[in-house]
Amino acid sequence: MEHDKRLAPLTDSLELLNSGLDSLCFAVVVARLEGSLGVDPFSASEDAVFPVTFGEFVKFYENATN
């Protein structure tokens, strides 16, 4: 990875904060996903509830792209 971070195995129940990514890495992931998917569900609504687990994170994007 660009930021020299080692990722935990990605499972649905993995808590994002335990994934090995810091805030900056998350920010970069969200920006890159916006670049490739054209959506940023975090900014889509002022009342968006942020995902806590990796599974919720994936669902968060699935809902936004459907």
Partner 1 sequence: MALGDLVDGSALDGRGDELHGRSVLILTTDQLTAALALFELDGIARRIVLSPPDLPIEHLPAVIEAAKVDALVTDRTTFGPIIPRVQYFMPCARNIVPHKCDRSAEVETEWVLLTSGTVGPPKLVVHTLSSLAGAIDRTEVPPGRVVWSTFYDIRRYGGLQIFLRAVLTGASMVFSSASESTADFLARAGADGVTHISGTPSHWRRALMSPSAKLIDPEYVRLSGEIADQAILNHLRSVYPQAKIAHAFATTEAGVAFVVNDGIAGFPATAIENTPGVEMKVEDRSLRIRSNRTASHYLGGHSGKPLREVDGFVDTGDVIELRDGRYYFAGRRDGVINVGGLKVHPEEVEAVINRHPEVQVSLVRTKKNPITGALVVADVVLKPVTSSTSHNMRELQHDILLFCRDSLSSYKVPVAIYFVPALAMAESGKLLRRNA
**Per-residue x/- marks for partner 1, 6-45, CB under 8 A?**
---------xxxx----xx-xxx-xxx--x----x-xx-x
**Integer Cα distance of 32 and 38 in angstroms:** 9
Least separation in angstroms between residue 51's CB and partner 1 is 7
Residue 3 touching partner 1 (CB under 8 A): yes
Q: Which of 18, 20, 19, 25 is nearest to 2 (CA)?
A: 25
Helix, strand, coil % (nearest 5) of the chain?
A: 50, 5, 45
Interface ranges with partner 1 (CB under 8 A) = 2-3, 15-18, 23-24, 26-28, 30-32, 35, 40, 42-43, 45-52
